[in-house]
């Protein structure tokens, strides 16, 4: 940038700049079962996200001695007023939806009663000391096919795995796991994320009637940076 404010950390990395928005945490908290006999979970944000584009929701299921799975994620609200999200456990054979979340957007919101705010030249609020930033930590898409089985409806389920050590402060971007993938029919492949805590591995589970095997969706992780 030619003028304005730029802040670097001890590693000489720019962490704040008056021309670019950071990924700001708008709200955080816990999600838990609210419906569907403990399978479904609706969470309302402490404050609505006011961006036009959909915000990013990151989740970290509670560590349990079983597999935690999440699917059917969808945002609640509308452009300019995103108010919450819904997610569901894959089946009664996996853990109920209990865990932590944060929702973030590439724009700050005027939250702090005192501190500092930074605006871009077009008036966009880039930073507010009441909205901490999120930092992307890793991503991977080198899933290994594990096995397949059949669902109660007769659809094929494919399981893909990768070793993972489940750090407590890393959250998975769940938006992409709420979208169906393409398949050979007009239904699509239902996608679930799985956290196999006993085996220390991440899972991706696809379900469809046409059963394509190819799978390369990235899993993206981030942590809150206070």
Tens digits of per-residue pLDDT, 10-44?
776 656 666 667 888 999 999 999 999 999 999 99
pLDDT tens digits, 105-123? 988 888 888 888 878 777 7
182 and 114 both lie in a single domain: no
98 and 80 both lie in a single domain: yes
183 and 87 both lie in a single domain: no
Number of domains making up the chain? 2
Q: Cα(159)–Cα(101) distance, rounded to whole angstroms?
A: 25
Which of 105, 136, 167 marks a domain boundary? 136
Quickly tell me which residue has 């992780």 as its tokens. Answer: 221
Which of 75, 102, 136 marks a domain boundary? 136
Does the structure show a pLDDT above 70 at 224? yes
What's the residue count for the chain? 226
- Model pLDDT, residue 226: 63
169 and 106 both lie in a single domain: no
Does 1 map to a domain? Answer: no
- Model pLDDT, residue 120: 78
Three-state SS letters, 124-140: CEEEECCCCEEEEEEEE
216 and 174 both lie in a single domain: yes
Over residues 200-226, mean pLDDT: 88
Q: Higher-confidence residue: 83 or 186?
A: 83
Q: Residue 76 sits in which domain range?
A: 6-136
- Model pLDDT, residue 48: 95
203 and 120 both lie in a single domain: no
The percent of residues above 90 in pLDDT, for the chain, comes to 57
């Amino acid at each position: 940038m030619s003028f304005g404010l730029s802040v670097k950390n001890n590693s000489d990395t720019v962490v704040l700049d008056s021309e670019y928005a950071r990924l700001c945490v708008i709200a955080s908290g816990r999600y838990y079962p609210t419906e569907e006999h403990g399978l479904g979970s609706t969470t309302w944000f402490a404050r609505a996200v006011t961006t036009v584009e959909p915000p990013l929701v990151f989740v970290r299921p509670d560590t349990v001695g079983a597999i935690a799975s999440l699917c059917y994620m969808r945002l609640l609200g509308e452009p300019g007023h995103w108010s919450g999200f819904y997610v569901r456990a894959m089946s009664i054979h996996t853990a109920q939806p209990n865990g932590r979340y944060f929702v973030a957007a590439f724009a700050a919101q005027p939250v702090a009663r005192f501190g500092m705010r930074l605006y871009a030249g077009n008036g966009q609020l880039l930073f507010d000391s009441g909205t901490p930033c999120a930092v992307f930590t890793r991503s991977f898409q080198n899933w290994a096919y594990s096995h397949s089985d059949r669902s109660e409806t007769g659809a094929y389920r494919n399981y893909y795995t990768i070793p993972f050590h489940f750090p407590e402060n890393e959250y998975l971007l769940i938006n992409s796991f709420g979208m169906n993938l393409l398949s050979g029919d007009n239904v699509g492949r239902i996608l679930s994320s799985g956290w196999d805590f006993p085996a220390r591995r991440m899972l991706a589970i696809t379900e469809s009637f046409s059963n394509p095997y190819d799978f390369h969706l990235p899993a993206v992780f981030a942590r809150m940076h206070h």
